[in-house]
Every structure is written in structure tokens, then in C-alpha cells.
A and B are shown apart, each in its own frame.
Chain A
Amino acid sequence: MKELQDLAQLLEQGQSQKVLALTQQLVDSGMSPQTILNDGLIAGMAVVGEKMRNGEMYLPEVLQSAGAMKASLAILKPHLAREGAKPRGKILIGTVKGDMHDIGKNLVCIMLQGAGFEIVDIGLNVEPQKFVTAITEHTPEIVGLSAMLTTTMLNMKTTIEAIVAAGIRSKVKIIVGGAPVSQKFADEIGADGYSRDAVLAVDKVKQLIGHTS
């Protein structure tokens, strides 16, 4: 449908005001909010992710698109709730203890939200016990751990150990990422998945959610 293609394209271009207006117009026309979300917003963000992966879009442009998506979602959310629509899954994410870097984590949140997942972002410099408490409270399917530094990546292991000690390890899949992190390191610390960038994180989460459902 042309309007949905237009919505996806405007989103890709980061044109918040136009995305907002078109979303409202489509809602007013009686289109299903789930259709608008899936075939407009999520489709648009998929293109953004692909362009980012290919080096055709960079973080500032991606943030523009994410801002447009956020504005549009604010319109859609009450309608989605009335329709009983559910997100594709819930992801709890945070930067581990001792690490104040959040740009990578935020980018992963943007791409996951853009792919239709619900995000619980518990921030940066997060103590292992806070992850445990948040998992118990929010019951996510996936937990994302982020670290930017070689010193703090070791706290990913500590965090996983705390989750194991709390007896809730089997209830979640754990994915790790960040500049110094590798698949080898992820395997060593007992994570279920690793992603080297935000776009691939979406694929990994989809794969892990598939395994859990």
C-alpha cells in the first residue's frame, strides 16, 4: 500500500513531523495500528538497519529515524493496546557495572524497538544484583549486556554469575556486545549470544526468541 510505503520512506529519511502526520492520518482512516506498525514503521526501520550495515547511514541519521519512530509510536500505542497487540518479545538491557558508555546500548535499543520488540533499558553502570532484580520484576525473554571497555567486559561474567546464583538463568537468554567483546569471550562467560553490531543484534535476538518460544 502506497501510504505505508510513504510512511516507511519518511521514517528512513528521519522526517518526524511528516511521519507523525501520516501516522495520524492512517489511524484516522481506520487502518489497523498493527498494520501501520509492521508495514510502515518496522519496515522503515528495517531499511535503516540495512543501510547502516552497508555504511550508507550513520548514527546521527539513524537517531533522526528513531526519533520519528518514537513520535509515531506515541500515537499508535493506545490503539495497539486496545487491539490487544503484543510486542515480539521483551528485552532487558543495560551497560554493566563500571561502564558509563551508552551509545552502543542505545543504538541496540533503537534497532530492537524498530523491529517491534519491547525494551526495558536499565541504564549504565548497572550492578549485577540490579540486573537480577530487574529480570525478576520485568520477566524478559532476553537480557542484553553491554560493555565498551576491556576492564568492564569482565563484569559481564560477574553479572551472568549473579543471574545463575539467583536461580533464574534458565528463564532468560543472555546476549552480549560492545567494542572489546567477541564470540570467543561470549562463549567463555556462558552467554547465549553475541553480536558485533546493533543490526546483527536484532537477528540474534530473533534467533534466540525463536529458540525460547
Chain B
Amino acid sequence: MNSRFERALNCEPPDRIPFVPAIYEHKAWFVGETPSKVCRDQKLFTAALLAEYERVQPDVLTVGIDVYNVEPEAAGCNVVYYEGDNTSVPAIAPESVVFQGSEDIASLKMPDPQKDGRMPLNLEVAGNIMKLLGKEVPIRGALSGPFSLAAHLTGLENLFKLMFTHPDLVRELLGFACEVIKRYGEAFIELGCGVVVFDSQASSDLISPLLYREFALPRTRALIEHFHQLGVRNVPLIIGGNTTKMLDEYLETGANNVLCDVKADGKEFLHKCSAVRRAFRRNMDSTDFLTISSSDVHRRTLNCLEESGGYAGFILGTAILPYGTPLSLVVAIRSALQEYKRP
């Protein structure tokens, strides 16, 4: 088992800084197919994860391509898939929300992870990868966070409106979302996988720390606590965007690994996370990876690593790698990681 990632999560100095690039739709590129095709085919999906591990050598593998779609789809929302050679990422059709605001939340469909949508497919892939690589590298199932799932079930703008007009209803919807995620997460855990929670719709790029505290935090904390009780100690919470303003709330969720995305303040994350011994993943910008040179990426990586300040809980990440990112850029990142000397 690769203990480098685990050591960083425990804030114990690893042999080198772990590398956790954000590879979702780009997984499909490894097998020469589109994200829409790979996310619906367990053989291709498994092959894509194997190829990712072989070529990129990340310190953790995540089972997930279109990570925010799986739970809402299983709950009845429609996903738009793209046919032919269209490499766009599948997305929830905005008109297919299952909760308009007046329905009884108890009547919403509670997905069965073994039966509904692509939950069984994702679980099958996780099981395959656990058998093949489970002893070499940590494997984790991708889960939506409660706020993001609620946003997909009712539409983001509607959720924002309901927060003012029907706050109790929003809390109830978040409770439903939390239950959906618990069940899906439990199914990954039964396979021996870890879990990782994605909740970027709750970013402080969109909502205030006050609203996060009022609505998202209680359910997120309960979700993470639930996984802790099931023996899963490491529960990363990934919220993109500039989350510097809500870092206190973010840390209150109980997640032992939070994301410091490209636009967030690395110094502030280092200061606050090291004070409470929490790991954080610092993302470097990858939006221009289809046009940038290997030497630029190498330089960018070293700059990013400098931000670690020698903190044992520092993890190197990237923003989502674009579909088709040349392997030479990943090699450049790995080379910089080897070269970097921790202060």
C-alpha cells in the first residue's frame, strides 16, 4: 500500500509530497474514448483507471468521471450524454429537477446504490480496481456533498431562492441529500474503498460563509461523522473556487483533508491547517494545460511546492486536468516533485 498519501493526511512527513491531480473527464482520454462513453461502461471505466494509475502514478485513485451527476441521476434527474466524438462532460439537464419546491420531500425517490442509475456501475468499477490495485494505492469513491446534491435536485438558483423563502424546506432537502450520500458512501466502504466528498456548489465563490454555516455545514459535518463512525478516518472534502473566506467553516466539517484551490490563499491555508493539524491539497492551475510547455509546468510546480513551507500535511494537486492533457506535462510535474527539497 502506498502510505505516502496516508502519512500526509496524518500530517506525518512522507518520503515526498503526495501528488493528487484532479483527473475526471481526462480519464476517458487514457483509453481513447469520450467521457460520455467511459462513464457508462464498466470495462472501459476500469481500463481508464488502470491506465491513469500506470501513466500518471498518482498517490490516490478516485472512482468518478462526472462526479456530481451520479446521485441526482439515481434520484431521477436526467443526465445529458454526448454521442460520437464529442468530449464534453455529461451534465444534469437543468429542466429535469425532481424537486420544484412544493412537493413532499418524503415522496422523493431514495436511490438504492445497488440498483439505481449508474451507482451499481461505479461500485462495480470500484470493486474491480480494489481487486487489481487495492494493495498498491488508496482507492476512493467520489461522492457529491449534500449542498451540491440538493442544488442538482432542485436547481441551483431555486435552491438559493428557497434558502430565503423556505429555509426549513431547504434543511429538509439537505437531510434527504445527506441520506442519499450516506447510502452510496456505505456501499463504497463495504467494498473496502475510502470516500471523497465533492461540494463545490457550496463554495464561497457562490454563497457566504454565513449561509454555508446555516445550511451546508450541519449536514456536511453529520455526513463526515457518519463515515468516521464506519471506521473511515480519512474523509477529504473538495470545494473548488476561492474558499479562503470560509476556511474556518470548512475545517469545522471534520474533514481531515481540504482543498486549497487555485484562487485560494495558500498562505492562509498553510497557517490555519497547520494550526489544527489538517492536511490540505494545494491545486496548481491547469486550465491552460492544452497550450503550455513542459518547462512552464515544471516551473509552476516548483512555485506551488514552495508554498508548502515544509508542512507535512501538504498535498500537491491540480485543477481538473483538461481532456487530452499531454502526458509530458504530468511527467514534468513528477520531475519537479522529485527535484524539490523540502525545507
Chain A residues with Cβ below 8 Å from B161 are: 60, 63-64, 67
- Cα of A152 to Cα of B320 in the assembled complex, Å: 13
- Cα of A180 to Cα of B289 in the assembled complex, Å: 11
Q: Are A60 and B211 neighbours in the complex by a CB distance under 8 Å?
A: yes
Q: Are B88 and A98 neighbours in the complex by a CB distance under 8 Å?
A: yes
Q: How far is the CB of A175 from chain B (nearest CB, A)?
A: 18
Contact of A151 with B89 at beta-carbon distance under 8 Å, contacts A63-B157, A182-B287 already known: yes
- Cα of A158 to Cα of B85 in the assembled complex, Å: 16
Q: Are B290 and A150 neighbours in the complex by a CB distance under 8 Å?
A: yes
Chain A residues with Cβ below 8 Å from B88 are: 97-99, 149, 151-152
B222 at the interface (CB under 8 A from A): no
B25 at the interface (CB under 8 A from A): yes
Q: Are B288 and A60 neighbours in the complex by a CB distance under 8 Å?
A: no
- Cα of A97 to Cα of B82 in the assembled complex, Å: 11
Could you give, for residues 130-166 of chain B, a 1 whenever the CB lies within 8 Å of some chain A CB and a 0 otherwise?
Answer: 0000000000000000000000000011001101100
A85 at the interface (CB under 8 A from B): no
Q: Are A59 and B87 neighbours in the complex by a CB distance under 8 Å?
A: no
A206 at the interface (CB under 8 A from B): no
Interface SS, B side: loop
- Cα of A98 to Cα of B160 in the assembled complex, Å: 25
Binding stretch for chain A, among B47-55, B91-99, B251-259: B91-99
Contact of A150 with B156 at beta-carbon distance under 8 Å, contacts A99-B88, A101-B91 already known: no
- Interface range on chain A (Cβ under 8 Å from partner): 20 to 34
Q: How far is the CB of B128 from chain A (nearest CB, A)?
A: 26
Point out which of A58, A98, A99, A179 has the most chain B C-beta atoms below 10 A from its C-beta: A58
Contact of A59 with B94 at beta-carbon distance under 8 Å, contacts A151-B88, A151-B323 already known: no
Could you give, for residues 144-171 of chain A, a 1 whenever the CB lies within 8 Å of some chain B CB and a 0 otherwise?
Answer: 0000011110100000000000000000
Q: Are B320 and A150 neighbours in the complex by a CB distance under 8 Å?
A: yes
A125 at the interface (CB under 8 A from B): yes
* Partner among A58, A63, A102 whose Cβ is within 8 Å of the Cβ of B208: A58
Question: From residue 171 to 190 of chain A, which have CB atoms closer than 8 A to chain B?
Answer: 179-180, 182, 184-185, 188
- Cα of A67 to Cα of B164 in the assembled complex, Å: 12
Interface SS, A side: loop
Could you give, for residues 53-69 of chain A, a 1 whenever the CB lies within 8 Å of some chain B CB and a 0 otherwise?
Answer: 00100111101100100
B327 at the interface (CB under 8 A from A): no
Q: How far is the CB of B204 from chain A (nearest CB, A)?
A: 8
Chain B residues with Cβ below 8 Å from A101 are: 91
* Partner among A58, A63, A97 whose Cβ is within 8 Å of the Cβ of B211: A58
Q: How far is the CB of B258 from chain A (nearest CB, A)?
A: 20
B207 at the interface (CB under 8 A from A): yes
Q: How far is the CB of A20 from chain B (nearest CB, A)?
A: 16
* A179: nearest chain-B partner, CB-CB: B287
Chain B residues with Cβ below 8 Å from A188 are: 291
Point out which of A14, A55, A59, A97 has the most chain B C-beta atoms below 10 A from its C-beta: A59
Q: How far is the CB of B157 from chain A (nearest CB, A)?
A: 6
Chain B residues with Cβ below 8 Å from A150 are: 286-287, 289-290, 320, 322-323
In the complex, besides A60-B208, A151-B25, 15 extra interface pairs with C-beta distance below 8 angstroms are A55-B245, A58-B207, A58-B208, A60-B160, A60-B206, A64-B164, A98-B82, A98-B87, A102-B94, A106-B157, A124-B94, A150-B323, A180-B287, A182-B287, A188-B291
30 pairs from A and B in contact (CB 8 Å cutoff): A55-B245, A59-B206, A60-B160, A60-B164, A60-B211, A61-B208, A63-B157, A63-B160, A98-B82, A99-B88, A100-B80, A100-B92, A100-B94, A101-B91, A103-B156, A103-B206, A106-B157, A124-B94, A149-B25, A150-B320, A150-B323, A151-B88, A151-B322, A152-B89, A154-B290, A180-B322, A182-B287, A184-B288, A185-B288, A188-B291
